[in-house]
Amino acid sequence: MTAKDNFIQSPLLDGNNGQQSTEPSDTNELQQQQLPPDYISSTIQENEPSDEVDDEQSSIQIDDNSIYDENGQIKFPLNDLIKLEEQLNQTRWVVPVLPDGELIKCLRAVVRLAAHKIDTKSDSCQRFIRDSLVNSFTKILCDEAVQTWKHEIFKYIYQNCMIFIELCVLKIEDDCLPLLEILGLLMNPSCRYHQSNHSRLSDLQLAVDKEIFASSNEFRLPQRGWLIDFINRFGDLGGFDKILTRFLSSETKLTISVVVALLKPWGLCYEYLTQATVKKY
């Protein structure tokens, strides 16, 4: 399979600032014929976020066999991490955000390890959090190229963000500054990702008995429904409760940098928080 064929079958996110292919139109038509019918839309439908938050489908629901190999060593997709690093460091960088891409594979692996509180014992895992994870989300949320991307790419990013939020909630007690840095980007209404999707309505529908942490109304423009989804997902997973517990805990003192990192995301998106959330936390 040629590199061109691979690009067709796996439409990765690249930083070409929206430049279009200069190949003849008949070549493009031939490439399109190689795709399965309605490839992109069918992929989106299969991987769209559920209307309800289902803990059974969460990446946190795992078994012990998925975190250790046959030799008892902690499992982490090192080959995927290396490939991700190579793509990020190219002149024309690529962030693989597809459901089977290297970014989401590494994210899910970290969630599995963090759920068992052994992520800090894996050097590869820590390397991913410290470098490639921050680099990836900085690009897909803040780079100038964001405004040139198509809707299906934004949906893939949405799905990666939802898994990142799971990881962030798991690691709140650990004061992990790289994750809190990304959270600040994700909750910033002015980041390029939210600016490009400011008119989106909320896709996440919580059950009627679930607490609502953020909301919009028909009179508010822009709606920023996806930002509201991210806030509600964070709260529904217990993120706000963990932050409150972290501030009230006397076991470990908070440094100024951690206090700032914990509060900054919510100062940026405070207009979208419900009054009940503001009063409670």
Q: Is residue 66 part of a domain?
A: yes
Tell me if 6 is assigned to some domain. Answer: no
Smallest CA-to-CA distance from 87 within 10, 191, 152 is with: 10
Residue 15 belongs to some domain of the structure: no
Q: What is the pLDDT of residues 241-252, one digit of tens each?
A: 999 999 998 888
Q: What is the structure's pLDDT at 229? A: 97
Residue 41 lies in a domain: no
- Note the pLDDT tens digit of each residue in 155-189: 999 999 999 999 999 999 999 999 999 999 999 99
Residue 49 pLDDT greater than 80, yes or no = no
194 located within any domain: yes
In-domain check, residue 177: yes
Over residues 16-28, the mean pLDDT reads: 41
- Domain range holding 150? 49-280
Round to whole Å and give the CA distance between 87 and 248.
42
For the chain, the domain total comes to 1
- Whether 17 is covered by a domain: the verdict is no
Q: Which of these, 7, 59, 45, lies nearest to 170 by C-alpha position?
A: 59
Predicted local confidence at residue 221, as pLDDT = 63
* Chain segment 205-248, per-residue pLDDT in tens: 888 889 999 998 766 667 899 999 999 999 999 999 999 999 99
**Residue 221 located in a structural domain:** yes
**C-beta neighbour count of 219 within 10 angstroms:** 5
